[in-house]
Amino acid sequence: MFTYMSWIVVGYGLAALLVHLLHRRFLRRTQKDVLETHYILVTRNHELQLEWYIRALSWYARIRGECIRVTVLDQASEDDTLAILRRLYHESGIRLNVIDMSDTADKVLNKSPESADRENRVHVDLRVPQEAAKIPYVHSRI
Protein backbone atom coordinates (compact mmCIF):
# COMPACT_ATOMS: atom_id res chain seq x y z
CA MET A 1 0.00 0.00 0.00
CA PHE A 2 2.74 2.41 0.97
CA THR A 3 4.67 1.60 -2.23
CA TYR A 4 1.72 2.44 -4.47
CA MET A 5 1.04 5.64 -2.61
CA SER A 6 4.68 6.75 -2.93
CA TRP A 7 4.59 6.08 -6.70
CA ILE A 8 1.51 8.28 -7.01
CA VAL A 9 3.19 11.10 -5.07
CA VAL A 10 6.37 10.81 -7.19
CA GLY A 11 4.27 10.85 -10.38
CA TYR A 12 2.43 14.01 -9.33
CA GLY A 13 5.71 15.65 -8.33
CA LEU A 14 7.34 14.89 -11.69
CA ALA A 15 4.28 16.12 -13.57
CA ALA A 16 4.32 19.39 -11.60
CA LEU A 17 8.04 19.81 -12.25
CA LEU A 18 7.54 19.24 -15.97
CA VAL A 19 4.74 21.81 -16.12
CA HIS A 20 6.89 24.40 -14.32
CA LEU A 21 9.87 23.81 -16.63
CA LEU A 22 7.78 24.05 -19.79
CA HIS A 23 6.01 27.16 -18.52
CA ARG A 24 9.32 28.85 -17.73
CA ARG A 25 10.70 27.94 -21.13
CA PHE A 26 7.58 29.24 -22.87
CA LEU A 27 7.73 32.52 -20.95
CA ARG A 28 11.35 33.09 -21.92
CA ARG A 29 10.59 32.56 -25.60
CA THR A 30 7.70 34.99 -25.67
CA GLN A 31 9.52 37.89 -24.02
CA LYS A 32 10.36 40.55 -26.57
CA ASP A 33 13.25 42.04 -24.63
CA VAL A 34 15.11 38.78 -24.17
CA LEU A 35 18.80 39.21 -23.59
CA GLU A 36 20.66 37.08 -26.11
CA THR A 37 23.94 35.50 -25.08
CA HIS A 38 26.56 35.77 -27.80
CA TYR A 39 29.50 33.40 -27.41
CA ILE A 40 32.55 34.36 -29.47
CA LEU A 41 34.93 31.40 -29.73
CA VAL A 42 38.46 31.96 -31.04
CA THR A 43 39.83 28.69 -32.44
CA ARG A 44 42.91 27.26 -34.07
CA ASN A 45 43.10 23.52 -34.76
CA HIS A 46 40.44 22.51 -32.21
CA GLU A 47 38.84 19.62 -34.08
CA LEU A 48 38.95 17.34 -31.04
CA GLN A 49 37.12 19.71 -28.68
CA LEU A 50 34.98 21.98 -30.84
CA GLU A 51 32.08 19.60 -31.45
CA TRP A 52 31.65 19.08 -27.72
CA TYR A 53 31.75 22.84 -27.08
CA ILE A 54 29.06 23.56 -29.67
CA ARG A 55 26.86 20.69 -28.48
CA ALA A 56 27.26 21.81 -24.85
CA LEU A 57 26.10 25.31 -25.79
CA SER A 58 23.18 23.84 -27.75
CA TRP A 59 22.09 21.67 -24.82
CA TYR A 60 22.45 24.61 -22.46
CA ALA A 61 20.23 26.74 -24.69
CA ARG A 62 17.56 24.05 -24.93
CA ILE A 63 17.50 23.24 -21.22
CA ARG A 64 17.46 26.87 -20.10
CA GLY A 65 15.19 28.08 -22.91
CA GLU A 66 17.61 30.88 -23.74
CA CYS A 67 18.60 32.51 -27.02
CA ILE A 68 22.22 31.75 -27.80
CA ARG A 69 24.30 32.84 -30.76
CA VAL A 70 27.78 31.46 -31.40
CA THR A 71 30.39 33.11 -33.59
CA VAL A 72 33.54 31.10 -34.26
CA LEU A 73 36.61 33.11 -35.24
CA ASP A 74 38.99 30.64 -36.85
CA GLN A 75 42.67 31.47 -37.04
CA ALA A 76 43.71 29.47 -40.13
CA SER A 77 43.01 25.99 -38.81
CA GLU A 78 44.84 23.23 -40.65
CA ASP A 79 42.75 20.33 -39.35
CA ASP A 80 39.05 19.44 -39.74
CA THR A 81 37.78 22.26 -37.54
CA LEU A 82 35.96 24.00 -40.37
CA ALA A 83 34.49 20.74 -41.69
CA ILE A 84 33.08 19.98 -38.25
CA LEU A 85 31.60 23.47 -38.02
CA ARG A 86 29.96 23.10 -41.44
CA ARG A 87 28.34 19.87 -40.29
CA LEU A 88 27.20 21.37 -36.97
CA TYR A 89 25.79 24.46 -38.68
CA HIS A 90 22.52 22.66 -39.45
CA GLU A 91 22.48 20.22 -36.52
CA SER A 92 23.18 22.42 -33.52
CA GLY A 93 19.87 24.24 -33.18
CA ILE A 94 21.57 27.52 -32.35
CA ARG A 95 22.62 30.43 -34.54
CA LEU A 96 26.16 29.62 -35.60
CA ASN A 97 28.48 31.87 -37.62
CA VAL A 98 31.99 31.00 -38.77
CA ILE A 99 34.37 33.82 -39.64
CA ASP A 100 37.99 33.69 -40.73
CA MET A 101 40.09 35.60 -38.19
CA SER A 102 41.92 37.55 -40.88
CA ASP A 103 38.63 38.84 -42.26
CA THR A 104 36.60 41.47 -40.42
CA ALA A 105 37.26 40.07 -36.92
CA ASP A 106 37.34 43.59 -35.49
CA LYS A 107 33.76 44.15 -36.62
CA VAL A 108 32.61 41.11 -34.65
CA LEU A 109 34.58 41.90 -31.52
CA ASN A 110 33.34 45.49 -31.26
CA LYS A 111 29.82 45.92 -29.94
CA SER A 112 27.50 47.90 -32.10
CA PRO A 113 25.26 50.37 -30.24
CA GLU A 114 22.04 48.69 -31.39
CA SER A 115 23.14 45.26 -30.10
CA ALA A 116 24.66 46.51 -26.85
CA ASP A 117 21.34 46.41 -25.00
CA ARG A 118 20.06 43.14 -26.44
CA GLU A 119 22.98 40.77 -25.98
CA ASN A 120 25.44 39.60 -23.40
CA ARG A 121 28.83 38.78 -24.96
CA VAL A 122 31.13 36.05 -23.72
CA HIS A 123 34.60 35.96 -25.32
CA VAL A 124 36.25 32.55 -25.15
CA ASP A 125 39.76 32.21 -26.55
CA LEU A 126 40.11 28.45 -26.93
CA ARG A 127 43.81 28.82 -27.61
CA VAL A 128 44.12 29.38 -23.86
CA PRO A 129 43.06 26.14 -22.09
CA GLN A 130 41.55 27.83 -19.02
CA GLU A 131 39.15 29.88 -21.16
CA ALA A 132 37.05 26.81 -22.05
CA ALA A 133 35.62 26.85 -18.52
CA LYS A 134 33.45 29.85 -19.55
CA ILE A 135 31.33 27.48 -21.65
CA PRO A 136 28.50 25.79 -19.71
CA TYR A 137 28.92 22.04 -19.11
CA VAL A 138 32.63 22.21 -19.97
CA HIS A 139 35.29 21.67 -17.33
CA SER A 140 38.85 22.38 -18.35
CA ARG A 141 41.87 20.78 -16.78
CA ILE A 142 45.08 22.70 -16.49
Alpha-carbon gap, residue 85 to 77, rounded angstroms: 12
Alpha-carbon gap, residue 21 to 28, rounded angstroms: 11
Q: What is the pLDDT of residue 15?
A: 94
Alpha-carbon gap, residue 142 to 23, rounded angstroms: 39
Q: Indicate the SS3 state at residue 48.
A: helix
pLDDT of residue 138 exceeding 80, the answer is no
Q: What is the pLDDT of residue 113?
A: 47
Q: What is the mean pLDDT of residues 98-118?
A: 60
